[in-house]
């Protein structure tokens, strides 16, 4: 029983970097990124670009992506009738504020006009429809778009070609044709293939890698690969950096194109601290790969995020809260981008294991490991009890619980943890119903 509990107990880690000097944290994110030779961008909603929303978008971000306004269904809902209002508005705003634009997206299976999905097309007819659409849209913004997501989400989860209307009717050749049409329409734009769940090394990213290899071998003008990075709290893939690097080594640029990091609502201090570490980790992975052009967040405020609508019960996925106040995630980006970030001082990670459990009670062991290069001089671990558990007694730490929030701090004898070293504390708790482990820890 004991072995099973230990084996099934989630091992959770959290890392929090101590704040660097205030100056770096206060500088606009776009300037910090620019100083590192990258851009930091955001998706925006054209209709919201006024007031405080516009102020933050302009001040903090060096690149804008229209969240929906350039999709085929937005620009040509009725065949032959174009509405460029929203797309024009984002491009004009970006130009007025010295920002680049990531065009999103020319060919995608989703948010297509009904007349495209509902039609019956021969292969030749569909190919011409697609290349005409690319010529019209990329042509309209010729010379004003930094990157185009030419083809979005071409793959299935197993890395094979998605059987969208394009894939099913035209096979893989549609991807090559789309890139050639985009190059002809706007020779200056960098042309990207973009997908989700390709962030880690795995079946889907292997499929993307092989697709890019084939396209390059055919001389197809693919300039970059976008990794959407719609991530889950505490689950930044360990292989993200290595994955970006292997694509870069194929001879293409890479970019993080739609970063958000969702959490089960409500947000708590511990989850927001984990999210800060996660945002910083993604930003650092991009900085570590020379050909990573930049990071775009998919909405900069929680009030303009698609997550609550698409992942019920989840949210708080962006770096600013609903009132446009910066969250710890924003500081995570700033700290990762800061020019003089000291080499990770005071960084710790946490491992949690239930070592025994009985009706109404349990014992947990929490290990604090110093993953930085300087000694930890005193430490604090914070977490949220997910199912009403109460700490009844702690040893080797002082633990207090307010509502669901627990704070545990060192005693004097175990305050100092050398780099690479660890120390452990334990507690007895009460539970009823279920006893799930906390989903995140903040450690500082
Ligand atoms: C999302 C938008 O943010 C939502 O407003 C819309 O309702 C659905 O699409 N991958 C993509 C983006 O490439 O275009 C999607 O954007 C999010 C997932």
Over residues 211-224, the pLDDT tens digits come to: 999 999 999 999 99
Verify whether ligand 1 is closer than 6 Å to residue 306 (CB atom): yes
Residue of 137, 153, 241, 335 marked active site: 153
Q: Is 69 a catalytic residue?
A: no
The ranges assigned to domains in the chain are: 18-337, 348-443
Which residue owns the Cα nearest ligand 1 atom 5?
A: 306
Q: Which of 76, 46, 52 is nearest to 64 (CA)?
A: 46
Measured distance CA(183)–CA(146) in Å, rounded = 13
412 CB burial (10 A radius; 0-12, 13-18, 19+): exposed
pLDDT of residue 428: 97
Q: Give the pLDDT score at 240.
A: 98
> Closest Cα to residue 103, out of 63, 61, 131, 162?
63
Q: What is the mean pLDDT of the chain?
A: 93
How many A from CA of 430 to the centre of ligand 1?
42
CATH of 348-443, one of 1.10.20.10, 2.30.40.10, 3.10.50.40, 2.60.40.290: 2.60.40.290
pLDDT of residue 346: 59
Asked whether the beta carbons of 65 and 43 are under 8 A apart, the reply is yes
Are 417 and 375 contacting, i.e. CB atoms less than 8 angstroms apart?
yes
Distance 68 CA to ligand 1 centre (A): 7
CB 152 within 8 A of CB 107: yes
Task: Output the six-digit token pair for 99.
Answer: 């920002």
Q: What is the pLDDT of residue 377?
A: 86
Domain 18-337 has CATH 3.40.640.10: no
- The verdict on the CB of residue 164 being under 6 Å from ligand 1 is no
Reply yes or no on whether 153 is catalytic: yes
Q: What is the atom index within ligand 1 of the atom nearest the CA of 149? A: 13
Per-residue tokens: 294? 């930049």
- Closest-lying ligand 1 atom to the alpha carbon of residue 45: 5
* CB 227 near ligand 1, within 6 Å: no
Which of 258, 300, 305 should be mutated for ligand 1, with most atoms under 8 A from CB?
258
**Domains 18-337 and 348-443 belong to one CATH topology:** no
pLDDT at 29: 98
pLDDT reported for residue 340: 66
Global pTM? 0.75
Could you read off the pLDDT of 345-354 as tens digits, one per residue? 557 889 999 9
pLDDT of 23: 56
Cα of 334 vs centre of ligand 1, distance in Å, is: 25
CA-based angle 238:260:70, to the nearest 5?
Answer: 125
pLDDT score of 12? 37
CA 199 – ligand 1 centroid, Å = 17
Q: Which residues of the chain have pLDDT under 50?
A: 1-22, 343-344
DSSP lists the bridge partners of residue 368 as 350, 423
Give 133 Cα–ligand 1 centroid separation in angstroms: 20
């Amino acid at each position: 029983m004991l072995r099973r509990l230990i084996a099934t107990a989630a091992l959770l880690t959290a890392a929090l970097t101590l704040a660097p000097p205030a100056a770096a944290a206060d500088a606009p994110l776009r300037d910090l990124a620019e100083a590192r030779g990258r851009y930091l961008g955001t998706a925006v909603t054209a209709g919201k670009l006024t007031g405080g929303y516009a102020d933050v978008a302009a001040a903090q971000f060096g690149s804008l992506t229209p969240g929906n306004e350039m999709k085929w269904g937005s620009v040509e809902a009725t065949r032959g009738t174009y509405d460029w209002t929203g797309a024009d508005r984002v491009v004009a705003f970006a130009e007025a504020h010295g920002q680049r634009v990531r065009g999103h997206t020319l060919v995608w299976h989703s948010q297509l006009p009904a007349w495209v999905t509902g039609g019956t097309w021969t292969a030749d007819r569909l190919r011409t429809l697609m290349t005409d659409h690319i010529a019209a849209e990329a042509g309209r913004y010729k010379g004003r778009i930094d990157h185009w997501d030419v083809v979005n989400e071409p793959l299935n989860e197993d890395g094979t070609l998605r059987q969208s209307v394009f894939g099913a009717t035209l096979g893989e050749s549609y991807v090559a044709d789309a890139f050639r049409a985009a190059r002809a329409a706007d020779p200056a734009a960098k042309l990207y293939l973009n997908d989700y769940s390709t962030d880690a090394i795995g079946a889907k990213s292997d499929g993307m890698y092989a697709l890019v290899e084939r396209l390059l071998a055919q001389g197809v003008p693919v300039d970059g690969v976008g990794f959407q990075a719609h991530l889950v709290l505490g689950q930044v893939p360990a292989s993200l950096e290595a994955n970006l690097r292997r694509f870069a080594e194929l001879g293409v640029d890479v970019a993080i194109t739609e970063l958000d990091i969702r959490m089960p609502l409500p947000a708590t201090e511990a989850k927001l601290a984990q999210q800060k570490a996660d945002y910083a980790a993604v930003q650092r992975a991009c900085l570590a790969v020379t050909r990573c052009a930049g990071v775009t967040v998919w909405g900069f405020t929680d009030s303009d995020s698609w997550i609550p609508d698409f992942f019920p019960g989840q949210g708080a996925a962006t770096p600013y809260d609903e009132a446009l106040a910066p969250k710890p995630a924003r500081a995570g980006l700033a700290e990762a981008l800061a020019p003089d970030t000291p080499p990770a001082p005071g960084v710790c990670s946490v491992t949690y294991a239930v070592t025994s459990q009985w009706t109404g009670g349990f014992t947990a062991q929490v290990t604090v490991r110093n993953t930085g290069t300087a000694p930890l001089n005193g430490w604090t671990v914070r977490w949220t009890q997910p199912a009403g558990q109460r700490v009844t007694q702690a040893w080797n730490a002082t633990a207090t619980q307010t509502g669901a929030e627990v704070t545990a701090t060192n005693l004097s004898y175990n305050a100092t943890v050398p780099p690479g070293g660890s120390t452990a504390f334990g507690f007895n708790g009460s539970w009823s119903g279920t006893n799930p482990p906390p989903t995140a820890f903040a450690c500082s």
